[in-house]
Structure 1
Amino acid sequence: MIMRVIPNRSVRILTIVGVVLLALNPLVVERASFGSSSNNGFSLLSGADVSHFAFLATMNHRSIGEASVFAVTDQPFSVARRVRTLGAVEQPWAVQLIEKTAKPLRKGDVCLLSFWARRAPGLGEKGAGKVAVYLQKASPNYNKMIDVVVRLDEQWRRFDVPFVADETYPTAAAELGIGFGFGPQVVDVADVNVTNFRQGVAIDSLPRTPFTYPGMEQQAQWRRQANERIERIRKSELVVEVLDKVGNPVPDAQVSLAQTSHFFPFGTAVEASRLLAQDETSRRYQQELVRLFNRATPENELKWMAVSGAWGPFDRNAVIRCLEWLKNRGISIRGHNLVWPRRDSLPPPVLNLLGRPELLQRMIDKHINEMGALTTPYVTEWDVLNEPVGNPLLVEALGEEAMVNWFKTARGALPKSCRLMVNQDGILTSGGPSDTKRQQEFQSLIAYLIGKGAPLEGVGLESHFGYDVTPPEDLLTILDKLADFGLPLEVTEFTLNVTDEKFQAAYTRDFLTACFSHPAVSGIVLWGFWQGNMFEPNAALYRTDWTLKPNGQVVRDLLLRQWRTETSGKTDASGQLTIRGFRGDYNLTAAKDGKRAGVVTSLTTDSTVKLVLE
């Protein structure tokens, strides 16, 4: 996209709501022409003028924001909206402008989200402003079709984000929101629109604002340091000693080492029914799963709502067959989850006991024990407690000590080899800060569980990102803080739900590299890989037709090439060859003068393997 900066001569305040504003003299960014991208499109909204958008800014019966409208000259728009966020607000939607759609939207429609924004100039504020713009379902659970977060300076800038609708919504069933809840700030927005082209244009023909993040540059120092750590902490040394049948060393023997699997868990969420089906699509699903991953999380099948029958009949035998399918292929299994204290994730009988604490605790203990009996032969780690920060429902009913009891009950129900974890969202996805309220509350919760003697053995970090990614160096800082607890950390649900595939590929590479380079990280799990079975379809590695996306190519390159050892060489005069390789399982062979030897070996620590040529 070509952009030209021109001076803006005047901006005149039109109305003021509860705040004194100053005369402004900002710079303006003017877009170059993008040809015929607007042909045949229509607006999903009643208009792009943000002055008629509803303003919501109340929390706990307290006003946390103010809004005003002002006139603008020398811009493609004549009216803008100024929003001031008051206090330490950390939820974008807590202060928002909102507008319901005025036209229907069909699944598969090609659309363009466009808006202008800036941080209000001349107010003496420091740092960048931030705004989220999202198109979402207009009723619970407010699923977001697109969610863009951008950082702003004092210059008007236009942002263009094309996307394909992944759901059908009748008129007024979806809504466009503009969120400002990123802490104290003053932000201006204007000319916000969603243009629907139906399926009459190719998405690549539409304008797209390039997104970046600190540390994205190819020669970034953090990446060089991360790769050096990976070389140091994820590899071990293998000494291959080649002997003849009487025990003499064999120099100049040709040695080959080929890695067949990783010791480090790289995983994905799976739809269990795909593992048992024999149609062509399911067989491809199984093939790619086994090719790329050595860990899997059944996405929904082990949740309480599923096993209770709240989502329909629970097929216990089918679930066991799926777990066996994974185990038989050497894929370790994460159990997700035993207790998720969110209202819509608890079966109705549980909710009915909120006022009867003894019966409620008994029901939770019964559930944990039943899941232990069901999964003990298969599951190697369990999310005992899922998303406790932000979901206090059960703690309010039972007290904090109940969380400790859930872990103790799980320890009794599961083998000691099964790792017990707490899993939380919103920790790595802060957009950069390492001391947000949510992070502080999560660290306090971990400290509480440890202090009370809960058998907590690992920390899960969900990692669902949109455009507001956390720069790699900030990721490492957050991981450092959590590592101070001395527990293994695991990325449990990585997604990057954006439509800019170049940006997506770059951050996927950097996120995986940063996490793999951190010594406390013990596993990385993606939340799905195929667009046909994805909670967030845009985050998939493969499209529905199984074509590989750029982020999928990144994952394949890292897991199957860069972070996998395949090498060869010749023994020295003492009959030895020293190789440094990624930890995992290997096929090892040696040959000379028609004599050969081979072995399947595991490299987990520095070790020596002897091969005898016969």
Structure 2
Amino acid sequence: MVSKRTLGIVAGGSAVALLAATAVLLATRPSGGGRPATASAAGSAGGHPAASGAPLRDLAAARGVHVGTAMAAGRLGGIPGRIAAAQFDSVTPENEMKWERVEPERGRYDWAPGDAVVAFAKAHGMQVRGHNLVWHSQLPEWLTTGDFDADGLRDVMLRHVTDEVTHYKGEIAAWDVVNEPLDDDGSFRAGLWYRQLGASYIADAFTAAHAADPAAKLYVNDYGIEGAGPKSDAMYELVASLKKQGVPIDGVGFQAHFALGRVPATFRATMQRFADLGLDVAVTELDVRMPTPPDAAALRRQADDYRAVVEDCLAVSRCRGIAVWGLSDATSWVPDAFPGQGAATPYDASYRPKPAYDAMWAALHGDRG
């Protein structure tokens, strides 16, 4: 049956929302032999004998990892918020802590959206992953068009990092300090920071973040580094160099934005390779896109991909957790970025759990595939 904690979360809304949310949450409980029910019969092949209907967050805690989701401040209420609070123990703000939102004008900060995500997490016993401090994208116009020399730009970056981390000191478990520093071929991405400051901006950003909150775990985060290849090798060389220099870097985030059936067979070995440097690793932005509308076979294949990623993380002792990028297909970024594709998350557009949810549940529960 639905746990007392879940019912408490659901009970905070209106009668209509209560009934709708309860129907959705009931879809995640065990049915007929203990297997979590899904919105599609596609998830029923090879059912697993679950001993309890625990939510993902409880299963993850038992395995010593976190399971999270990205959330926007405007979707913390209603059914999305209730499901997120019931199922996940970690939340990543989608855009609320990025530079263009936090500091839209030089020296003027807007903390309210990020604060709302933090308050939501506190209310529901969740940790927060700060995303992100320094990135080539989603920068305010005053910064991208400003006439800064190298020293001036470095000062601006260090002040922003210091101010944001200080504001959230003690409230953020881990920060994506530098996001996507590498291009697809493994070279340094020729964005604002590298063009004017060179690669030294990376070490400087980590050093400033650590000084502002020594307790927060600090990550570099990127996509396309999950398998063997030049970008993964370049990231390995980068973090090994940072470690050698004594830069306070704690981990590597693997975004894990995958196309259907394209989870690298070497993902586990790749994470272990980075862990062997003395770094934590995490799956930070997992989704698996496919042509839409999906059929049952595609949903089953997607479930296999989700299961593989969770099992790869569980097999690496320094993998700290898995976060999905967006709770539901209703709000996923994928259709805008990849026209004709979508259905990438564990919940469908009506917030019903998909076979991908079942696969995550089974992997965390320890059931054999």
User: Does 1:291 pair with 2:86?
Assistant: yes
Distance 1:335 1:524 in 2: 15
Secondary structure of 2:330 counterpart: helix
Using the size of structure 2 for normalisation, the TM-score is 0.73
Verify the 8 A CA contact 1:355 1:397 in the aligned structure 2.
no
Equivalent residue for 2:152?
A: 359
Secondary structure of 1:306 counterpart: helix
User: Does 1:479 pair with 2:271?
Assistant: yes
Write the deviation string for residues 33-83 of structure 1: whole angstroms up to 9, x where unpaired.
xxxxxxxxxxxxxxxxxxxxxxxxxxxxxxxxxxxxxxxxxxxxxxxxxxx
Distance 1:471 1:400 in 2: 28
Secondary structure of 2:240 counterpart: helix
Write the deviation string for residues 220-253 of structure 1: whole angstroms up to 9, x where unpaired.
xxxxxxxxxxxxxxxxxxxxxxxxxxxxxxxxxx
Secondary structure of 1:529 counterpart: coil
| Aligned match for 1:504, one of 274, 285, 302 | 302
Distance 1:267 1:443 in 2: 25
Equivalent residue for 1:402?
A: 201
Secondary structure of 2:133 counterpart: strand
Distance 2:71 2:173 in 1: 16
Output aligned runs, 1:191-590, within 5 Å.
Answer: 261-262=61-62, 263-275=64-76, 277=77, 282=78, 284-309=79-104, 315-340=110-135, 342=136, 344-353=137-146, 356-390=149-183, 391-393=189-191, 394-414=193-213, 416-428=214-226, 430=227, 434=228, 436-472=229-265, 474-498=266-290, 499=294, 500-536=298-334, 537-559=342-364, 561-562=365-366
Equivalent residue for 1:576?
A: none
Amino acid corresponding to residue 397 of structure 1 in structure 2: Q
Secondary structure of 1:385 counterpart: strand
Distance 1:386 1:361 in 2: 17
Write the deviation string for residues 175-206 of structure 1: whole angstroms up to 9, x where unpaired.
xxxxxxxxxxxxxxxxxxxxxxxxxxxxx9xx
Distance 1:260 1:426 in 2: 25
1:369: Cα distance to partner?
1.4
1:539: Cα distance to partner?
0.9
1:314: Cα distance to partner?
7.2
Equivalent residue for 1:589?
A: none
Distance 1:440 1:259 in 2: 33
Amino acid corresponding to residue 103 of structure 2 in structure 1: S
Counting matched residue pairs gives 290
1:549: Cα distance to partner?
1.5
1:373: Cα distance to partner?
2.5
Distance 1:562 1:297 in 2: 26
Verify the 8 A CA contact 1:353 1:359 in the aligned structure 2.
no
1:291: Cα distance to partner?
1.9
Amino acid corresponding to residue 388 of structure 1 in structure 2: P
Verify the 8 A CA contact 2:91 2:127 in the aligned structure 1.
yes
The change in CA–CA distance for 1:303 and 1:452 in structure 2 (over 3 A counts) is same
Unaligned runs of 5+ residues in structure 2 are 1-39, 41-45, 47-57, 184-188, 335-341
Distance 2:102 2:60 in 1: 35
Amino acid corresponding to residue 402 of structure 1 in structure 2: Y
1:397: Cα distance to partner?
0.7
Amino acid corresponding to residue 497 of structure 1 in structure 2: R
Amino acid corresponding to residue 496 of structure 1 in structure 2: V
Distance 1:307 1:294 in 2: 24
Distance 2:210 2:345 in 1: 35
Distance 2:115 2:351 in 1: 28
1:501: Cα distance to partner?
0.8
Verify the 8 A CA contact 2:99 2:133 in the aligned structure 1.
yes
Q: CA RMSD in A?
A: 2.4
Using the size of structure 1 for normalisation, the TM-score is 0.45
Aligned sequence identity (%): 26
Write the deviation string for residues 357-391 of structure 1: whole angstroms up to 9, x where unpaired.
11101111111112112211311110111110112
Distance 2:66 2:147 in 1: 38
1:319: Cα distance to partner?
2.9
Distance 1:489 1:392 in 2: 25
1:468: Cα distance to partner?
5.0
Secondary structure of 1:396 counterpart: helix
1:401: Cα distance to partner?
2.1
Structure with higher Rg: it is 1
Distance 1:298 1:332 in 2: 11
